[in-house]
C-alpha cells in the first residue's frame, strides 16, 4: 500500500497552452531540449526592495488598508482582472502581482486532476497543451488580464498557481494526445537519427519511428530489483518524461513571451513552484529558461537552485504561512531575504478578523518594516558570491532515482503522491544533505546543470571543487567535460552510483567516470544492505527522513553516514577504508566517496554528527577551499548558523542567519526542528582574510578593520554587515 496525499493551499486552477506545441516541439533538434531562454525583464521600480505581497484570502486590501498599514504591510495580489483593486493600486502605488493571468483549468488542472491521477497507463491530458483551442483560450485570458494591469504598480504576472502537467509532482502519465505523440516521435527521430540507433538504445525492434508509442513506468517496473541495478534500461521511459518536461517548459515560455508582447516592462512566470521532480514538468534546467520570475516552495533545494540558475534580474520569492510563533516567523522572513528572495507571498489566514489584526501578526510589525526597508536593498539587487564549489544538477538522474524510489510500492506506485515524494525523494534529500553539509562548514556552493558544464562555466567561474551529487546518469559529453576539469587540476568528488547510466537512463557496461575515479562496481550486490533500491522507503514512513524510513539496515557506516555500494572496489585508485565496500577512493584529484549525505540529516538537528563535517572540510581543504568566515558562540562553532555573501558595487554584504533544518510544506509553515533561542548571544566573526570598514547595517555600529570581531546576534533574526576587502 502506498500512502500520502497532495494538498493545495489554493483552489487555483490553470492550464497553460502553447503555440509552440503544435510548432516548436515539432521542430525540435533534440528530444528533451527546451526552447531558448526567455529574456530577462528586471523587476519594475515599484519592486525596489523586499516586499510582502498579501494573497487576498480572508482579507481585502481596500477594506483592510488601515490594518495593513498598522503593521507595515503595503503589497497584495489581484486575481485575474479586478477593476476595483487596480484602481486602489493606482491610488496608493502599492505593489501587486496578478495571479491566474492565464486563467484556471489549464496549467493547473484543478477539477480535471482526477482524470489523470492514480493511473498506470498513458492518458490524454484534459485541456492538452498541444491543443490549439487551449492555446487560444490562454492567449485570450492573458490579453484581458495583462492589458487591464499594465502601466500600474504591477510587479509581475503569474500565469497560474501550482502549475503541473498533471497533479503537482504526482506520477501522472500524460500526455497521450495524438499531436503530443506525433511530436514525441519527431523528436526521437531528430535525436537518434536512425531507427536502428534507437533500437540499440532501447533494446527494441521498431521498424520505424511511427510505430513508437509512449510507455508508462509500469512497463519498466519489473526491471527494478535490488540485484539488477547494473542492468536497468529506463531509456524509453526517461525519453518520454524528458519530452513531457520540454512540452511543459515550452508552453510556459510561449505564454511568458506572449505576456511580454502585451507588457514588455513586467516579468511573467508562475507561483506555487514544486520540487525538482520526475513528474509534473519540474525540470528546473528547462523551467528556469521559461519563466522570468517564480514563487517556489523551498522543497528539494529549489531555493538554492533558483539562486544559482538565475541572476537578480529574475526574481524568486517564497511562500509565507505564519506559524503563529513570532520568533519563527521573524526567522523565516530574515532567512529568505538573506538567501536572495525578493519577497514573500503571504497566506493571511486569520490575520485580519473583525476589523482587528491578530496578535501574532501585530508582534511582527517591526520585522515587516525592517525586512522591507533599506537593509534589503544591499541584498536583493546584489550578486551572490559563492565559494569555488559547485554541486551538479542532473535531471535524468532525478528521473532514475524516482524510478528506484517508487519500486518499494510495487503495483501501487501511482499512489506515490507529490507530498510523499516531497518528503521521501532520495534525490531531493541527497541534494539537501550536501547543501546543509557545506553550509554547516561555512561553504556556499553554486548549483550547476549540463548547459553550464558544457559551456565551460567551471573554468570561467574559477571553480575548484565539483560535487557530483547522485549523478547516476551522465552523457559522454558531460563525462568528457568533467575529466577535462580534473585534468586542469580541479577536484571532482562523487558520492555514489556515479555515471552508471547514460543520459537516457540505460545502464552502462562501465561507469562513465570509472577511469577518472579508479573504481570498479559490482552492482549485483545492490546498495546499502543489499535488499533495497531506495535510501528512503516511503512504505515504512512517508513523513520524510526518519530512523524508520531510512532504508540502510545492514549497511556499513563511515564518518556518520552509510556506505552505499557494497560491491565497490578500488581499481587504479586507492581506498582509505573498506567497511563493506571500498570507501573514499582517491585517484589524483578525483575522489569517489561511496557514501550518502542523507544520514547526516538524521543527526544534524541534535548536532550529533561528530565526524562527517570535519571529514568533508578536510576534503575541501586539500582542494584549496576553506571557509571565508567562521562563526563562534561561547567559544564553540555556531551550530546551524551560516554566512552568506553578496556583492554590491565596491562593498560586500555579509549576512549571518540560523540555518535551521526546515521541512517546507505547500499548505503551511512546515517544521523547523531546532529551537529559536531565548535571547541575544555574543557572536564572534573570524575572517580568513582582513576586511575593512565592517559595519552592522541594522544597528549602524562600525566595527572597523581586522579579522576578528564580536557582535550581538538575535538567533531568530539575521545580522547584515557591509565591508570592503
Residues in the chain: 725
Q: What confidence tier does 672 reach under pLDDT thresholds 50, 70, 90? A: confident
**Four-residue CA torsion sign, 437, 601, 605, 283:** positive
- Is the pLDDT confidence value at 508 over 60? yes
Give the Cα separation of 368 and 416 in Å (integer): 38
- Is the pLDDT confidence value at 22 over 50? no
CB-CB contact of 148 with 258 (8 Å)? no
Percent of the chain with pLDDT over 90: 91
Q: What confidence tier does 5 reach under pLDDT thresholds 50, 70, 90? A: very low
Task: Give the tens place of pLDDT for each residue, 115-129.
Answer: 999 999 999 999 999
Q: Read off the pLDDT of each residue in 647-657 and give the average, rounded to a whole number.
A: 95
**Neighbour count for residue 535 (Cβ, 10 Å):** 30
pTM of the model: 0.94
- Grid cell locating 261: 508582447
Task: Give the tens place of pLDDT for each residue, 415-432.
Answer: 999 999 999 999 999 999
- Is the pLDDT confidence value at 665 over 90? no
- Is the pLDDT confidence value at 24 over 80? no
- Is the pLDDT confidence value at 3 over 90? no
CB-CB contact of 712 with 682 (8 Å)? yes
SS3 of the chain: helix, strand, coil, percent, to 5: 35, 20, 45
**How confident is the model at residue 10, as a pLDDT?**
35
Residues 6+ apart with CB under 8 A from 586: 518, 573, 574, 576
- Is the pLDDT confidence value at 165 over 90? yes
**Neighbour count for residue 28 (Cβ, 10 Å):** 21
DSSP-assigned beta bridge partners for residue 322: none
Q: What confidence tier does 35 reach under pLDDT thresholds 50, 70, 90? A: low
**How confident is the model at residue 34, as a pLDDT?**
55
The overall longest dimension of the chain from CA atoms, in Å, is: 75
Q: Is the peptide bond before 175 cis (omega within 30 degrees of 0)?
A: yes
CB-CB contact of 157 with 146 (8 Å)? yes
461: left (phi over 0), alpha (psi -120 to 50) or beta: alpha
Q: What confidence tier does 553 reach under pLDDT thresholds 50, 70, 90? A: confident
Nearest to 660 by CA among 288, 162, 323: 323
Q: Read off the pLDDT of each residue in 73-99 and give the average, rounded to a whole number.
A: 96
- Is the pLDDT confidence value at 674 over 90? no
Q: What confidence tier does 224 reach under pLDDT thresholds 50, 70, 90? A: very high
**How confident is the model at residue 673, as a pLDDT?**
67
Question: Virtual CA dihedral for 227, 231, 232, 238, nearest 10 degrees?
Answer: 150
Q: What confidence tier does 664 reach under pLDDT thresholds 50, 70, 90? A: confident
- Grid cell locating 686: 573570524
Q: Which CATH topology does 389-622 take?
A: Rossmann fold (3.40.50)
Half-sphere exposure of 122 (CA within 13 A, CB side): 15
CATH number of 629-724: 2.60.40.1180
**Four-residue CA torsion sign, 84, 87, 89, 91:** negative
Amino acid at each position: 500500500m502506498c500512502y500520502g496525499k497532495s494538498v493545495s493551499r489554493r483552489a487555483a486552477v490553470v492550464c497553460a497552452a502553447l503555440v509552440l506545441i503544435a510548432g516548436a516541439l515539432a521542430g525540435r533538434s533534440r528530444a528533451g531540449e527546451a526552447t531558448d531562454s526567455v529574456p530577462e525583464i528586471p523587476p519594475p521600480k515599484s519592486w525596489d526592495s523586499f516586499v510582502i505581497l498579501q494573497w487576498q484570502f480572508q482579507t481585502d486590501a481596500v477594506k483592510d488598508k488601515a490594518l495593513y498599514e498598522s503593521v507595515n504591510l503595503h503589497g497584495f495580489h489581484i486575481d485575474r482582472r479586478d477593476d476595483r483593486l487596480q484602481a486602489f493600486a493606482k491610488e496608493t502605488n502599492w505593489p501587486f502581482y496578478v495571479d491566474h493571468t492565464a486563467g484556471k483549468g489549464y496549467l493547473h488542472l484543478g477539477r480535471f486532476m482526477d482524470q489523470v491521477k492514480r493511473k498506470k497507463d498513458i492518458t490524454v491530458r484534459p485541456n492538452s497543451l498541444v491543443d490549439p483551442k487551449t492555446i487560444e483560450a490562454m492567449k485570450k485570458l492573458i490579453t484581458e488580464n495583462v492589458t487591464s494591469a499594465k502601466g500600474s504598480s504591477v510587479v509581475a504576472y503569474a500565469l497560474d498557481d501550482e502549475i503541473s502537467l498533471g497533479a503537482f509532482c504526482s506520477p501522472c502519465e500524460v500526455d497521450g494526445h495524438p499531436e503530443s505523440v506525433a511530436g514525441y516521435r519527431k523528436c526521437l527521430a531528430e535525436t537518434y537519427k536512425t531507427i536502428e540507433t534507437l533500437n540499440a538504445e532501447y533494446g527494441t525492434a521498431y521498424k520505424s519511428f511511427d510505430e513508437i508509442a509512449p510507455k508508462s513506468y509500469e512497463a519498466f517496473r519489473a526491471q527494478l530489483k535490488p540485484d539488477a541495478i547494473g542492468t536497468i534500461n529506463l531509456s524509453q521511459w526517461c525519453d518520454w518524461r524528458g519530452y513531457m518536461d520540454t512540452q511543459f517548459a515550452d508552453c510556459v515560455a510561449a505564454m511568458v513571451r506572449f505576456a511580454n508582447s502585451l507588457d514588455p516592462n513586467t516579468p511573467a512566470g508562475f507561483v506555487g513552484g514544486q520540487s525538482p521532480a520526475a513528474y509534473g514538468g519540474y525540470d528546473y534546467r528547462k523551467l528556469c529558461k521559461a519563466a522570468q520570475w517564480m514563487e517556489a516552495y523551498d522543497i528539494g533545494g529549489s531555493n538554492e537552485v533558483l539562486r544559482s540558475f538565475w541572476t537578480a534580474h529574475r526574481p524568486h520569492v517564497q511562500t509565507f504561512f505564519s506559524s503563529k510563533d513570532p520568533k519563527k516567523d521573524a526567522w523565516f522572513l530574515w532567512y529568505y531575504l538573506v538567501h536572495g528572495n525578493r519577497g514573500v507571498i503571504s497566506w493571511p489566514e486569520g490575520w485580519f478578523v473583525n476589523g482587528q489584526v491578530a496578535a501574532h501578526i501585530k508582534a511582527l510589525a517591526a520585522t515587516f518594516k525592517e525586512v522591507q526597508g533599506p537593509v534589503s536593498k544591499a541584498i536583493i539587487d546584489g550578486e551572490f558570491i559563492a565559494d569555488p564549489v559547485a554541486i551538479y544538477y542532473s535531471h535524468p538522474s532525478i528521473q532514475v532515482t524516482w524510478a528506484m524510489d517508487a519500486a518499494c510500492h510495487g503495483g501501487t506506485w501511482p499512489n506515490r503522491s507529490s507530498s510523499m515524494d516531497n518528503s521521501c525523494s532520495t534525490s531531493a534529500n541527497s541534494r539537501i544533505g550536501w547543501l546543509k553539509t557545506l553550509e554547516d562548514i561555512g561553504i556556499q556552493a553554486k548549483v550547476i546543470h549540463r548547459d553550464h558544464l558544457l559551456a565551460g562555466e567551471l573554468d570561467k567561474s574559477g571553480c575548484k571543487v565539483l560535487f557530483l551529487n547522485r549523478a547516476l546518469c551522465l552523457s559522454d559529453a558531460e563525462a568528457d567535460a568533467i575529466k577535462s576539469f580534473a585534468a586542469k587540476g580541479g577536484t571532482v568528488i562523487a558520492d555514489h552510483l556515479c555515471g552508471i547510466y547514460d543520459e537516457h537512463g540505460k545502464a552502462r557496461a562501465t561507469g562513465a567516470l570509472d577511469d577518472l575515479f579508479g573504481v570498479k562496481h559490482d552492482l549485483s550486490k545492490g546498495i546499502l544492505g543489499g535488499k533495497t533500491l531506495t535510501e528512503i522507503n516511503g512504505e515504512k514512513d512517508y513523513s520524510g527522513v526518519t530512523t524508520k524510513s531510512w532504508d540502510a539496515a545492514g549497511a556499513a557506516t563511515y564518518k556518520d553516514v552509510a556506505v552505499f555500494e557494497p560491491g565497490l572496489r578500488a581499481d587504479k585508485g586507492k581506498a582509505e577504508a573498506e567497511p563493506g565496500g571500498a570507501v573514499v577512493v582517491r585517484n589524483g584529484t578525483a575522489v569517489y566517496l561511496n557514501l550518502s549525505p542523507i544520514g547526516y540529516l538524521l543527526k544534524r538537528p541534535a548536532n550529533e554528527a561528530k565526524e562527517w563535517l570535519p571529514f568533508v572540510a578536510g576534503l575541501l581543504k586539500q582542494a584549496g577551499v576553506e571557509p571565508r568566515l567562521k562563526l563562534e558562540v561561547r567559544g564553540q562553532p555556531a551550530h546551524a548558523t551560516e554566512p552568506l555573501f553578496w556583492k554590491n558595487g565596491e562593498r560586500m554584504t555579509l549576512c549571518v542567519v540560523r540555518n535551521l533544518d526546515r521541512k517546507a510544506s505547500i499548505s503551511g509553515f512546515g517544521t523547523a526542528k531546532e529551537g529559536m533561542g531565548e535571547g541575544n548571544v555574543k557572536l564572534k566573526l573570524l575572517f580568513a582574510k582582513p576586511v575593512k570598514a565592517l559595519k552592522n547595517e541594522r544597528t549602524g555600529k562600525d566595527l572597523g578593520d581586522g579579522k576578528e570581531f564580536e557582535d550581538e546576534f538575535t538567533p531568530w533574526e539575521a545580522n547584515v554587515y557591509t565591508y570592503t576587502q
